[in-house]
């Protein structure tokens, strides 16, 4: 019963097979391998973007930070949600890699930035001349860190606001596939057709061992990104092992199948929790993340039985068994119906 994160699950067997196949013979390093050529073609085809610049790195923090460093000058500010991963969970890596760009937090109901509030935040910057930060890129997260999803129309509206101030937009897509499956749209519709300039296209949380794709839809950013990636110590020598993962991930729609599996598992868990007395949801789950609260006594049963998940509000230790503690639950592609039903049985008591 592992619901702590979609990072906790196993690598899909097809990804492991691809790594094993890549582990034969010799291949040129630093992305000059034949597998990387294939990956570029695959991603360009999936995103309907034949001119896109495509790179691979091993972590989401690297992909987000290096993209933003390419799009933002040190004297600019990056607009993002207060719960954005780049703000809460990357140890100031964006500020570090940009050489000093700050983050400006935009009010985000349900963890989604509001277009009108974004405009007001933008208007509040770049009006103090040399004394204040200049306007830099917008960064949005899809799926958001609270399990909600921007519609294509919402992304388009935000990108439109950003472009009206000549600002680029970055999309943190650590759970890109989960969002796309929910929306039933294409990768192009959720990105460049909506106005997004660069994407962190996640694989690690969706069945890969450790690979994220960086996609710039305008190749003018390519050389600067390559320099920043090398200078930032994120140019892998044995790139073929990243490329093997991404190629297998994109082959035969595996990436979509895995996202459908984790979303379906979450839907089953959500439906079961909604039937349990004294259980409430902080946000309506739309992909593979749930934020819900239920009594301490049920949490105690679950933890005693070995369930793994994070309590984000309240503490397991306490005297009142009826106190509501809020949990974050995440399903990965490998979560089974049996484990979900076991969790729900324990929660019911």
242 and 262, same domain (yes or no): no
Q: Is 105 within a domain? A: yes
Measured CA distances, 64 to 128, 168, 216, 225, 302 (Å): 28, 14, 12, 12, 35
SS3 (DSSP) at 96: helix
DSSP string, 160-199: HHHHHTT--EEEEETTHHHHHHHHT--TTTTTGGGT--EE
Q: Is 1 within a domain? A: no
Q: What is the CATH number of the domain that holds 307?
A: 3.90.1150.10
Torsions phi, psi for 199 (to 5 deg)? -135, 135
For residue 271, what pLDDT is reported? 97
212 contacts 62 by C-beta, under 8 angstroms: yes
Tens-place pLDDT, residues 142-154: 999 999 999 999 9
180 and 47, same domain (yes or no): yes
- The whole-angstrom separation of Cα 65 and Cα 96 is 8
| DSSP category for residue 331 | -
Q: Is 29 within a domain? A: yes
Considering its fold, how many domains does the chain have in total? 2
250 and 269, same domain (yes or no): no
For residue 55, what pLDDT is reported? 98
For residue 339, what pLDDT is reported? 97
The pLDDT > 70 percentage for the chain reads 100
Q: Is 96 within a domain? A: yes
pTM, rounded to two decimals? 0.96
Token readout for 322 is: 């009826």
User: Per this entry, what is the length of the chain?
Assistant: 349
250 and 261, same domain (yes or no): no
337 contacts 262 by C-beta, under 8 angstroms: no
215 and 125, same domain (yes or no): yes
88 and 183, same domain (yes or no): yes
Tens-place pLDDT, residues 10-19: 999 999 999 9
∠ CA 49-54-59 to the nearest 5 degrees?
A: 130
155 and 61, same domain (yes or no): yes
Q: Is 3 within a domain? A: no
Q: Is 322 within a domain? A: yes
Instruction: Give me the domain span that covers residue 262.
Output: 257-348
116 and 210, same domain (yes or no): yes
Q: Is 341 within a domain? A: yes
Tens-place pLDDT, residues 51-70: 999 999 999 999 999 999 99
250 and 272, same domain (yes or no): no
267 and 243, same domain (yes or no): no
133 and 20, same domain (yes or no): yes
The contacts of residue 289 (CB under 8 Å, 6+ apart) are 143, 146, 147, 175, 266, 328, 329, 330
- The whole-angstrom separation of Cα 161 and Cα 230 is 33
Residue ending a domain, choose from 189, 221, 254? 254
Q: Is 32 within a domain? A: yes
The pLDDT > 90 percentage for the chain reads 99
Q: What is the CATH number of the domain that holds 214?
A: 3.40.640.10
For residue 61, what pLDDT is reported? 97
239 and 210, same domain (yes or no): yes
Per-residue burial over 313-327, b if 16 or more Cβ lie within 10 Å, else e, is ebeeeeeeeeebbbb
Give the confidence band of 74 by pLDDT, cuts at 50, 70, 90: very high
The contacts of residue 36 (CB under 8 Å, 6+ apart) are 56, 239, 240, 243
Tens-place pLDDT, residues 154-182: 999 999 999 999 999 999 999 999 999 99
Residue ending a domain, choose from 216, 231, 254? 254
Tens-place pLDDT, residues 113-134: 999 999 999 999 999 999 999 9
For residue 296, what pLDDT is reported? 96
Residue ending a domain, choose from 199, 230, 254? 254
Give the confidence band of 333 by pLDDT, cuts at 50, 70, 90: very high
For residue 166, what pLDDT is reported? 98
């Amino acid at each position: 019963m592992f619901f702590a994160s979609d990072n906790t699950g196993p690598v899909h067997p097809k990804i492991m097979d691809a790594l094993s196949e890549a582990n034969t013979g010799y291949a040129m390093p630093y992305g000059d391998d034949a597998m990387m050529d294939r990956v570029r073609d695959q991603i360009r085809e999936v995103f309907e973007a034949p001119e896109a610049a495509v790179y691979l790195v091993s972590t989401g923090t690297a992909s987000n930070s290096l993209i933003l460093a390419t799009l933002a000058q040190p004297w600019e500010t990056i607009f993002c949600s207060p719960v954005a991963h780049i703000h809460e969970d990357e140890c100031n890596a964006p500020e570090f890699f940009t050489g000093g760009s700050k983050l400006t937090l935009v009010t985000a109901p349900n963890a989604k930035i509001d277009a009108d509030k974004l405009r007001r935040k933008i208007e509040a910057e770049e009006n103090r001349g040399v004394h204040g930060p200049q306007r830099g890129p917008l960064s949005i997260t899809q799926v958001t860190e609270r399990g909600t999803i921007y519609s294509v129309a919402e992304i388009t509206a935000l990108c439109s606001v950003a472009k009206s101030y000549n600002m680029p937009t970055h999309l943190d897509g650590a759970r890109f596939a989960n969002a796309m499956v929910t929306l039933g749209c294409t990768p192009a519709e959720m990105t460049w057709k909506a106005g997004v300039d660069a994407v962190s296209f996640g694989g690690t949380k969706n069945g890969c061992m450790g690979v994220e794709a960086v996609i710039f839809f305008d190749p003018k950013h390519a050389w600067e990104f390559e320099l920043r990636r090398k200078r930032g110590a994120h140019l892998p020598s044995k790139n073929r092992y990243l490329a093997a993962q991404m190629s297998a991930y994109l082959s035969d729609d595996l990436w979509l199948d895995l996202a459908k599996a984790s979303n379906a598992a979450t839907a089953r868990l959500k439906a079961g929790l909604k039937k349990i007395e004294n259980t409430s949801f902080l946000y309506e789950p739309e992909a593979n993340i749930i934020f819900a609260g239920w009594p301490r006594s049920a949490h105690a049963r679950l933890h005693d039985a070995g369930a793994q998940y994070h309590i984000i509000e309240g503490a397991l230790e306490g005297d009142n068994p009826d106190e509501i503690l809020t949990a974050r639950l995440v399903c990965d592609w490998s979560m089974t119906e049996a484990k979900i039903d076991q969790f729900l049985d324990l929660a019911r008591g």
